[in-house]
Amino acid sequence: MKKLFYISVLLCISIFTFIASSEVLLRISGFEPWKYFSIDLNRPTVHEPDQILGWRNKPGKYQFPPYHPSGEKVELTFLPNNSRNTGKPGGDYNGELIFVGGSFTQGAAISDHETFPWKLQKRYPSLKSLNFATSGYGTYQSLLMLEKIMPDLKSPKLVIYGFIVTHEMRNIAHSSWLEPIAKHSRQGNIYLPYVTSGKDKNLIRNRPEKYIELPFREKSALIAFAEKQIMEFKTKNRKQFRRLLTGKLVQEMDKLSKVNGAKFIVALLQAEEKIKKEYISFLEYNNISYVDCSFSMTKDMTVLGEGHPNGKMNSQWAECISERLDSFIPE
């Protein structure tokens, strides 16, 4: 009996020593307990939860203070239908120009009038520009948004999907994306809809997933480390299919647009040259229209103190996209 007692005590001491030493070693190596990213409380919350999409734009008019001493305040307006304000068409319009995508297309960190969907509204007054792009969205969420809004549109003529390469990891809910969006959230952990590949490489839609939450993670580096390892293990096999699945999602968007009488165009806004060439080959092989607007993101093309594309870059995108649209839209 005493022997069993001593063994139990020794086991407890060993476990405690292992946990304590692991905690110390992790902290020495720079790994910290879970921390939410610092949030400026002067900046309003502009998104709200959505059971299907994960989150959506929150209707309202918002003002953000400048991101840099030399910058200007940012005015952002989301309409009751969750789209961003793009100005008004010229009187009676004869069709709708729909935009979907992430923060580059939405126009994060810039005012309404600086976004390229606003600029394209001014260029094509015969169409009504509708910007349903949402910060943080990937291709799958953009498809889900398109499926949601299409039944309510009167006369969709063109659908433009703004693609950047980071959409690939968002589509598969990889841990490298689930972790930062969880750390950015003010409203608790965020659920992300995602897709995976079936045995015959078919597209499988999955219920929204969130980053794991273990007790005491904000106190213990070991717990936070365990969370990270669990999520990396859980999502690592998805990564190899990210490009295949993104392509299939683009095909779904193309089909959906055509069924509703609209032309679908992929606007390549940001991608490394090698990856961009892969997508261009894919799009051309599948007869999907595209426009290459992946310009260099130099300092003068970004919002100082924030990093997203500024109004100058959006003007370049508007000009680039309009060169493609001119062949579809009569003067």
Q: What pLDDT was estimated at residue 266?
A: 99
Long-range contacts of 253-259 (CB under 8 A, 24+ apart): 253/100, 253/139, 253/142, 253/143, 253/146, 253/159, 253/161, 254/286, 254/288, 256/143, 256/146, 256/147, 256/150, 257/146, 257/156, 257/159
Cα dihedral value 89, 91, 94, 97, nearest 10: 0
Q: What pLDDT was estimated at residue 217?
A: 86
Give the tens place of pLDDT for each residue, 268-323: 999 999 999 999 999 999 999 999 999 999 999 999 999 999 999 999 999 999 99
Q: What pLDDT was estimated at residue 293?
A: 98
Q: What pLDDT was estimated at residue 40?
A: 63
Tokens representing 297 are 């993101």
pTM of the model: 0.93
Q: What pLDDT was estimated at residue 311?
A: 98
d(CA 129, CA 107): 14
Q: What pLDDT was estimated at residue 145?
A: 99
Torsions phi, psi of 252, nearest 5? -65, -40
CA pseudo-torsion sign 114, 299, 37, 180: positive
Q: What pLDDT was estimated at residue 187?
A: 62
Q: What pLDDT was estimated at residue 232?
A: 95
Label each residue of the chain as H, E or C. CHHHHHHHHHHHHHHHHHHHHHHHHHHHCCCCCCCCCCCCCCCCCCEEEECCCEEEECCEEEEECCCCCCCCCEEEEECCCCCECCCCCCCCCCCEEEEEECHHHHCCCCCHHHCHHHHHHHHCCCCEEEECCCCCCCHHHHHHHHHHHHHHCCCEEEEEEEEECCHHHHHCCCHHHHHHHHHHCCCCCCCEEEEEECCCCCEEEEEEECCCCCCCCCCCHHHHHHHHHHHHHHHHHHHHHHHHHHHHHHHHHHHHHHHCCCEEEEEEEECCHHHHHHHHHHHHHCCCEEEECCCCCCHHHECCCCCCECHHHHHHHHHHHHHHHCCCCCC
Within 10 A of 177 (CB to CB), how many other CB atoms are there?
22
- pLDDT tens track, the chain, 331 positions: 666 766 666 667 766 566 666 666 767 877 688 888 766 656 788 999 999 999 999 999 999 999 999 999 999 999 999 999 999 987 778 899 999 999 999 999 999 999 999 999 999 999 999 999 999 999 999 999 999 999 999 999 999 999 999 999 999 999 999 999 999 886 667 899 999 999 899 999 999 999 999 998 888 888 898 899 999 999 999 999 999 999 999 999 999 999 999 999 999 999 999 999 999 999 999 999 999 999 999 999 999 999 999 999 999 999 999 999 998 876 5
Q: What pLDDT was estimated at residue 82?
A: 98
Q: What pLDDT was estimated at residue 309?
A: 98
